[in-house]
Amino acid sequence: MDRIFSGVQPTGNLHLGNYLGAIRNWVRLQNQFECIYCVVDLHAITAPQDPRELRANTREVAAGLLAAGIDPAENIIFNQSRVSGHAELAWILNCVARLGWLNRMTQFKEKAGKHRDNATVGLYAYPTLMAADILLYKATHVPVGEDQKQHLELTRDIAQAFNSMFDAEVFPMPEPLILGAAARVMSLRDGSKKMSKSEKSEYSRINLTDDADAIAMKIRKARTDSEPLPASTDGLEGRLEAANLISIYGALADKTADQVCTEFGEKTFSAFKAELVDLAVSVLVPIGAEMKRLANDPNHVDQVLSHGAERAAEIAMPVLSEVKKVTGLL
For residue 208, which of 71, 59, 23, 6 has the smallest C-alpha distance? Answer: 23
The answer to whether 64 and 286 have CB atoms below 8 angstroms apart is: no
Q: Which of 111, 255, 292, 324 is catalytic?
A: 111
Answer yes or no: 111 catalytic.
yes
Answer yes or no: 273 catalytic.
no
Answer yes or no: 197 catalytic.
yes
pTM over 0.85: yes
What length does the chain have?
A: 330
Domains parsed from the chain with CATH numbers:
3-183+298-327 (3.40.50.620), 202-293 (1.10.240.10)
pLDDT for the residue numbered 180: 57
Q: Which of 194, 255, 292, 324 is catalytic?
A: 194
Rg (CA), the chain: 21
pLDDT for the residue numbered 183: 66
CA 153, 158, 159, 165 dihedral sign is positive
DSSP code per residue over 200-237? S-GGG--BTT--HHHHHHHHHTS---SSPPPSSGGGGT
The answer to whether 174 and 223 have CB atoms below 8 angstroms apart is: no
Give, as one character, the DSSP assignment of residue 265.
T
DSSP code per residue over 60-92? HHHHHHHHHT--TTTSEEEEGGG-THHHHHHHH
User: Could you list the pLDDT tens digit for every one of the 330 residues in the chain?
Assistant: 799 999 999 988 899 999 998 899 999 999 899 999 999 999 999 999 999 999 999 999 999 999 999 999 999 999 999 999 999 999 999 999 999 999 988 777 777 777 777 888 999 999 999 999 999 999 999 998 766 788 899 999 999 999 999 999 999 999 998 775 556 899 999 999 999 988 889 999 999 999 999 999 999 999 999 899 999 999 999 999 999 999 999 999 999 999 999 999 999 999 999 999 999 999 999 999 999 999 999 999 999 999 999 999 999 999 999 999 999 999
DSSP code per residue over 109-134? HHHHTT-GGGS-HHHHHHHHHHHHHH
How many CB atoms sit inside 10 A of residue 287's CB? 21
